[in-house]
Structures are given as C-alpha cells and as structure tokens.
Amino acid sequence: MSTTTAVLGGSGYLGGELLRLLSTHPDFALSAVVSTSRAGQPLEAIWPNLPGNRLVTSADAKDLNVDLAFLAEPAGEAMKQVPALLESGTKVVDLGPDYRLRDPEAYARAYGQPHLDPEHLAEAVYGLTELARDSVRGARLVANPGCYPTATLLALAPLLRAGEIAGPVIVDAKSGTSGAGASLSPGTHHPEAALTVQPYGTPNHRHVPEMEAAFAALTGTNPSLVFVPHLIPVVRGILCSIYPALADAADPSRWPALFESAYGSSPFVHMGSTPRLSWTQGTNLCFLSLQRAGDAPVLFSALDNLGKGGAAQAIQNANLMFGLDESTGLRQPGFGV
C-alpha cells in the first residue's frame, strides 16, 4: 500500500527537487502540493519538467490527511504547521531550519524570531542519516540538516568521534546559487553572481550554530569552527575544503580505516579522489576525499545542495521512517561531467 505524501512549499527549489524525486518513487504517492504563492496553478506551470494536471493548493496542514509531509519552507513556517500535522498522525520531514536547533534561544538568535513550538522542538530527530539511522527509524518528526552542515559533518564525524581533531577546524565552503532559494536577491541575481566568487555570511553564518550543536550531539565534541562560505557561478553543488587542527595523539595513518568503518556500508557516501561537483548533481551522493597539503591533512567533501544537502536526504530519512530501504527511489547516478 502506497504512503500518501504531501509537499508543502512546492514552488521553491527544494520543493521542486522533492517533486522530481517523488515522481519516480515506488512507495510515496503524491497526494498534495501546497504553495500559498502559487495556489490554483497547475504544477506544470511552475515545473514544466513535471507534466501533469495536478493543481497546487493552499490547503491548511490540518486538512491534508496524509501519511507523510515534506516541509520545504522558509524559517518560521514549519513550526506553525507541525503541531497540526503530528496531531493528525502525519509523519513530518522538515527541510527548513525550524527544528534543527534544540535550544529555542539559539534558534531565536540565529533566525531573529521566537520559536513557537518548543514541545516538538525537543522531540525532533536531527536527520543526518548516516549518523542517526536508528533514531530516524523511530521518529515522527525529522529535522533535515542544512546543506553546509551535511557536507561538513560527514567529513568530520569519524575523526571527531575518534578524538583525532582538537580544533580549530577551518571550513572553506563553496556553493551554487540555488542554495539561496528561488526568490530574487541582489547578491544572487545572475549579473552579480556570474563569473565571480563571493564570500558571504561572515562573521556568523546561520549554519554555524547548527554545526556546533550537531558536533556536540553526534560526536560528543565541540571543536572551534571557522566557517567561510562562498557563492560560485554554478547552479547546484557544494564543495568544502576542510583543514582540521589535529589532537596531540592524532594519527592520520588511521584515518582511512576510520572512514571505512563509518561509511563502508553506506550507499551514498563515497571515499576516493578529489571530487567534482558534476559527480553529485541530481543525486543523493556525498563524495569525500582525504589528502595532504604539504605536511597537513586536508579533507574534501562534495554534494548536491538540493540533493544530499536537501530533498534527496529528506527522502532517505522518510524511507527509514516508513520501514523502507534507505536508498529506495534514490539510485540516480550523477552527471559525470
């Protein structure tokens, strides 16, 4: 029997990627696409790559009557809808930031507004799938990680857990323009973003509190973090170059074995040579590489910000929540070039 599914926020880039992946998912049957800004329009008017006669609605969360809801909405929206969804028996994967930080005061500092649902904030599972499979399986509310935290945490978690890193950790991150969302803004407008590289989000990017909290919760450590993101003139993809300060007893010769132990059976995390963004685009894959720069170790992490950094990881989590193989509907290869 198919799992009835709704996508709230279906007109944004993450919503569109969810709809693309769900269109071929064998177990999740799309029942509703919700968008307040595009309600009443046919889906193909918003996403011509998804032909069909389905109408986008502005239905209230309490009226959806579905088994599963994906929320791909800006900060502040999911926490207004999650209580009604959970009360109706719907399981939820929130792709926005509303349930990633367990501390409501930390959320208020990062997003400039109070958290309206502290009860369910405490319940939410932080869904970095490879590090939280067992918790995700039993969850009814999963907070899908941000794109930068997914790339950074997958690269660092095995080393942090083994006590190999003392900090500070320097993360030089570069992202495609789709990470800024579908709404126009001067900094991401094509004439501003094309043919250049722009650092942004300093001194305090919103994903830093999320990463610091996840370090503590998932690895029991809290290294100092220097995080500098950059916007690059591509549409999809994140590439992080990560420079960790080693603990006194660190032994980088052990690191390949640590990564093999952590991810050897994971279908979506691949260790190998220096990654390219084209390998990741359209996929749920994260490519990791361990190399050296002079005498110092350097880690590379690459993924699709809309895929493993967003919609595809959300489906990976939902698969586990409904007792499916985590790779169901997510076996698409990358572009390659």
Instruction: Answer yes or no: is pLDDT of 337 > 90.
Output: no
* Average pLDDT of the residues of the chain: 94
**Whether residues 287 and 168 fall in one domain:** yes
CA dist., res. 261 & res. 269, Å (int): 12
Q: Average pLDDT for residues 143-152, to the nearest whole number?
A: 97
**Whether residues 21 and 54 fall in one domain:** yes
**Whether residues 282 and 236 fall in one domain:** yes
Q: Is residue 212 part of a domain?
A: yes
**Whether residues 300 and 154 fall in one domain:** yes
**Whether residues 38 and 162 fall in one domain:** no
Determine the pLDDT at residue 218. Answer: 83
- Binning pLDDT at 50, 70 and 90, where does residue 54 land? confident
Determine the pLDDT at residue 159. Answer: 96
**Whether residues 169 and 242 fall in one domain:** yes
CA dist., res. 91 & res. 195, Å (int): 42
**Whether residues 173 and 274 fall in one domain:** yes
**Whether residues 86 and 153 fall in one domain:** no
Q: Is residue 46 part of a domain?
A: yes
Q: Is residue 328 part of a domain?
A: no
Q: Is residue 326 part of a domain?
A: no
Determine the pLDDT at residue 222. Answer: 86
CB 303 within 8 A of CB 49: no
**Whether residues 297 and 154 fall in one domain:** yes
Domain encompassing residue 11: 3-123
Name the active-site residue from 33, 147, 242, 288.
Answer: 147
The question of whether 147 is a catalytic residue gets the answer yes
| CATH number for the domain harbouring residue 238 | 3.30.360.10
Q: Average pLDDT for residues 30-44, to the nearest whole number?
A: 92
**Whether residues 100 and 157 fall in one domain:** no
Number of structural domains found in the chain:
2
Q: Is residue 333 part of a domain?
A: no
Instruction: Answer yes or no: is pLDDT of 183 > 90.
Output: no
The DSSP bridge partners found for residue 172 are 228, 241
Determine the pLDDT at residue 295. Answer: 86
One-character DSSP codes across 145-205: PPHHHHHHHHHHHHHHHTT-EEEEEEEEEEE-GGGG-SS--TTTSHHHHTT--EE-S-S--
**Whether residues 102 and 177 fall in one domain:** no
Q: Is residue 322 part of a domain?
A: no
One-character DSSP codes across 102-148: S-HHHHHHHHSS--S-HHHHTT-EE--HHHHHHHHHT-SEEEPPPHH
| CATH number for the domain harbouring residue 100 | 3.40.50.720
**Whether residues 115 and 151 fall in one domain:** no
